[in-house]
Amino acid sequence: MTISHLKTAKPEAERAEDDARVRATVEATLADIEGRGDAAVAELSAKFDGVSRPSFRLTQSEIEAAMAKVSARNMEDIRFAQTQIRRFAEAQRASMTDIEIETLPGVILGHKNIPVQSVGCYVPGGKFPMVASAHMSVLTATVAGVPRIVASAPPHKGEPHPAIVAAMHLGGAHEIYVLGGIQAVGAMAIGTETIEPVHMLVGPGNAFVAEAKRQLYGRVGIDLFAGPTETMVIADDTVDAELCATDLLGQAEHGYNSPAALITNSRRLAEDTIAEVDRLLAILPTAETAATSWHDYGEVILCDTHEEMLQVANDMSYEHVQVMTDRDDWYLQEMHSYGALFLGPRTNVANGDKVIGTNHTLPTKKAGRYTGGLWVGKFLKTHSYQRITSDEAATQIGEYGSRLCILEGFVGHAEQCNIRVRRYGGRNVPYGVAAE
């Protein structure tokens, strides 16, 4: 077994230092929002977004004015994308059914899937206006039946971004705010004098937004830790370097700290891809960002076998995993830790990001080991219930429950069972003693 790195990323120690600085900034900012409410949010917006407004919530007339600026072609494209995303989300929702069964005569157990009652959807828009993120969060929450959907995105050139506002509105948002970064997620989760707090936060964002969600978790629910985007290409010699390099840089342009990794068993492909990345960076308009990510966070890992490639990929647990090999279905069967798979050379991560129908809010930083991405089920809580409909069932379950409670030393618990055995079973069970 031989696994070698032809290109390595920034050492973990340096990444940890970056994370610590972000963590301290976020902690102080959230404390300021909690202490000063709207005043803190307004100062942060003026400082980081360059916008001051008497209210950060858009009025209906402002929403209509923003949407009027969207071209007919762009509006058509937004509607097409939302149709694809809605279809898949509706199919996912249909797969989640309420159940009720009779496990013993007279013993009824069930569960119900109940929507979260309010959700805050963050849509990034600093460097790039992430119109698609509105579909992925707002629209999916609508399909789930969430009764209050709050959406927020930073301003673009001092104004609400028209296409983002259109996507939020068409997706079903009930409240739309022009706020970015920590101040947006902090205001939605903590609440201010004018913004009612939500029960759950969803959506991707930069390192500061991801850290804010991490610190707010517990006060509110979150979808997952969706930080700076990650992309992995698993490829063999069935594809060429141009395709691999294009797919790596397509995600590296997201930000200055977007990891991109190639895993291959072909030295020729590995070396050619490194050279091709350099060629493309000379002509890519977003090269400044992409080049920094590739330099600091890019990796090229050479393995001997597909089994080694699989092992490395599962261990890294990247957000986006593009598979282009002679055995794509084998990877689909064997991969267990990732955000989303993109199988074969005909599809790509950008399809998933923008239009194909699957959700693009996905786990990063190895969170794919314990969670999948955002989907309609994230907005639903599965709650169980029980009912006993006969005296015989109340007595039978009560007797077992009584003895098991006494086994653990819980006398008060046992008495909850015993009183039912006495009343519905006519049994004279001494107080604080296990039913026989």
What would the pLDDT profile of 367-406 be if each residue is shown by its tens digit? Answer: 999 999 999 999 999 999 999 999 999 999 999 999 999 9
Instruction: Assess whether 360 and 244 both reside in one domain.
Output: yes
Using the predicted structure, report yes or no on whether residue 242 has a pLDDT greater than 80.
yes
Under the banding of pLDDT at 50, 70 and 90, the label for residue 273 is very high
Question: Looking at the structure, do residues 202 and 244 belong to the same domain, yes or no?
Answer: no
Per-residue pLDDT tens over the stretch 324-344: 999 999 999 999 999 999 999
Residue 307 lies in a domain: yes
Among 163, 192, 223, the domain-final residue is 223
Cα 275 to its chain centre, rounded Å, is 34
Q: Is the per-residue pLDDT at 7 higher than 90?
A: no
Q: By mean pLDDT, which of 192-201, 251-260, 310-319, 390-399 is the weakest? A: 251-260
Residues 213 and 233 in one domain: no
Same domain? 212 vs 241? no
Among 223, 257, 279, which residue terminates a domain? 223
**What is the distance between the alpha carbons of residues 375 and 141, in angstroms, rounded to a whole number?**
9
> What is the per-residue pLDDT for 236?
98
Residues tagged active-site: 319-320
Output the six-digit token pair for 160.
């609400």
Query: Binning pLDDT at 50, 70 and 90, where does residue 1 land?
Result: low
> Do both 277 and 422 map to the same domain?
no
Q: What is the pLDDT of residues 17-72, one digit of tens each?
A: 778 899 999 999 999 999 999 999 999 999 999 999 999 999 999 999 999 999 99
Render pLDDT for 354-376 as a digit per residue (tens, 0 to 9).
Answer: 999 999 999 998 999 999 999 99
Confidence label for 227 from pLDDT (cuts 50, 70 and 90): confident
Structural domain includes residue 3: no
- Max CA distance (Å), the chain: 87
Is residue 352 a contact partner of residue 129, using CB atoms and an 8 Å limit? no
- Say whether both 345 and 412 belong to one domain: no
- Looking at the chain, the whole-number percentage of residues with pLDDT higher than 70 is 100
Interatomic CA distance for residues 382 and 415, integer angstroms: 29
Task: Give me the pLDDT at residue 228, please.
Answer: 82
Q: How many domains does the chain have?
A: 3
* Residue 119 pLDDT > 80: yes
At 172, list the tokens.
């079903």
Domain limits for position 273: 228-370
From residue 16, give the alpha-carbon distance in Å to each of 20, 21, 23, 228, 273: 6, 9, 10, 14, 29
pLDDT at residue 171 tops 80: yes
